[in-house]
Amino acid sequence: MNTITVGRKRLDFFFILISFFMIMLIFLVIYVNKTNRDMKDYAIYHKEIKNLSILDQKIENTFLKKYRYIDYDKLQDINHEFQTILKFLDNEKFLYKFDKNLKDKIALLYSAYEQKESLVEEFKATNTRLTNSIHYLYDLHQSIEELNISTDEKRLFLNIFFQIEQLAMDLPNDLTHLQADVDKINQIKQNNKLYDYFYQHTTLFIKDIEILKNILETNERLDLYSTIKNISYGLEKYSTKMHERQYTIFLIFIIFGFLNLVFLIFNYKKIHKLAQDFFTFKYVIKKSENIIIITDKNRKIEYINKTFENKLGYSKKEAIGQQDSLIASDLMSQQTHEDINETLLKGQKWEGELISRKKDGSPIYEKTSIVPITNKGKVQGYLFIKFDRSEYIRRN
């Protein structure tokens, strides 16, 4: 036994495992935090998109209110809400987060909404004119019996009423026939205000119903709803991806965590065994009849056994922390001291006879061996094993 090598390898592996586990834990906390924030943003964004879809439906409902009173104020509030949400959605904070095409999609949404808004305005105006004409025609129809007109003209009037009704109700109708009848009114109107207004209303009605039809057809082609759906779809894709990633990351974490645990258990078992060995050795050293000293690399005393206390008279308290020169005596030559130092510095074991001094000043003859304790070639400390030969020397 020239030197003692201490097994620190196992301990290092343990620290690597623990550090790795800590890093994973920190990463997981950061990840969970970020994901939580992202999901919150996503939830808000998605909710607003849903709201847009509902508002779009409400706006769409306007187009169903043909010939009816429309609550423009309510529509105005809906439009205002729609614009507020649009502004909220068009936020740099979100635009590159959920979908790389989101910016373009929002731009599309803007233009589709503007088109729809102006279509609604056109619808409102046209519908108002149509409804007003219906009011007028209704009034006229009510009072037709009181009008001072010929039976033929009355028949013509009623004929037009009937055809307008067909037109309004989207029933099959013959526009050329209606137009011909209306033109007849134009021919007989002369300067009579009644005929004139009747002619104007019917002509306008035919024109406006065509405009209304165009508005509704244009609206059919408008892709506001599909744009909203498209955005919603993109968001859902993002959400699915997020969930999948979350699942993967948690799975990886669990697998690594489990492996870590297995390693740690093995490690613990080995360390446990080592600890038991250590306790055995410690017991042996403690109970040894030899004087045992363990110092650090600077030869400062770290451990002494009971025999040391008994033979040299120093208590643990007094000895630990002192240099090993505590027990050196001037009975040894300078040459011996240098020899010891030289040998130890080379990392080699020194063996020989030494005379030390007890606490009370009396000498003690010892057969001594000093073994460097190394770890990876570096001296960590020294082990002194001394055997008291004072008795033997005195006897001889």
Partner 1 sequence: MRFILYFILSFTLLWSKEPISPLETIPYNEQKAQLGKELFSDPIVSQDNTVSCATCHLLSSGGDNDIVFSFGIKGQMGSMNAPTVFNSALNFKQFWDGRAKDLADQAHQVIENPVEMGDNIYDIVKRLRKDKHYPKKFHDIYQEEIAKEHLIEVLVEFERSLITLDAPFDLYLKGESNAISQEAKRGYELFKSKGCVLCHNGRNVGGNLFNRFGIHEANNHSKSLGRYEVTKKEEDKYVFKVPSLRNIELTAPYMHDGRAATLEDAVKIMTEYQLGREMKQEDINAIVEFLKSLTGKLPQILR
Give the residues lining the site for partner 1 (CB under 8 A). Answer: 69, 71-73, 75-76, 79, 118, 121-122, 124-125, 128-129, 131-133, 135-136, 139, 193-194, 197, 200-201, 204, 211
How far apart are alpha carbons 36 and 263 in whole angstroms?
Answer: 32
The helix/strand/coil state of 8 is coil
Nearer Cβ to partner 1, position 201 or 386? 201
| Contact indicator for 350, 344 with CB cutoff of 8 Å | yes
Q: Tokens for 315?
A: 């208590």
Nearer Cβ to partner 1, position 135 or 286? 135
| Contact indicator for 352, 336 with CB cutoff of 8 Å | yes
Residue 203: CB minimum distance to partner 1, A = 10
How far apart are alpha carbons 373 and 368 in whole angstroms?
Answer: 16
The helix/strand/coil state of 388 is strand
Residue 118: CB minimum distance to partner 1, A = 8
Nearer Cβ to partner 1, position 4 or 204? 204
Residue 218: CB minimum distance to partner 1, A = 12
Nearer Cβ to partner 1, position 138 or 281? 138
Residue 148: CB minimum distance to partner 1, A = 15
Nearer Cβ to partner 1, position 37 or 207? 207
Nearer Cβ to partner 1, position 188 or 204? 204
Residue 112: CB minimum distance to partner 1, A = 17
Residue 119: CB minimum distance to partner 1, A = 12
Which DSSP string do the residues of 226-286 spell out, in sequence order? HHHHHHHHHHHHHHHHHHHHHHHHHHHHHHHHHHHHHHHHHHHHHHHHHHHHHHHHHHHHH
Residue 136: CB minimum distance to partner 1, A = 6
How far apart are alpha carbons 158 and 200 in whole angstroms?
Answer: 16
How far apart are alpha carbons 133 and 64 in whole angstroms?
Answer: 18
Residue 117: CB minimum distance to partner 1, A = 10
Q: How far is CA 298 from CA 3, 9, 312, 323, 384, in A?
A: 16, 23, 21, 8, 13
Nearer Cβ to partner 1, position 211 or 216? 211
Nearer Cβ to partner 1, position 219 or 356? 219
Residue 29: CB minimum distance to partner 1, A = 39
Q: Tokens for 52?
A: 């847009």
Largest CA distance in the chain: 167
Closest CA to 203 of 221, 184, 222: 184
Closest CA to 230 of 110, 111, 105, 116: 105
Nearer Cβ to partner 1, position 122 or 236? 122
Torsion-angle region of residue 350: left (phi > 0), alpha (psi -120 to 50) or beta?
beta
Q: Tokens for 246?
A: 């979350």
Which DSSP string do the residues of 51-63 spell out, in sequence order? HHHHHHHHHHHHT
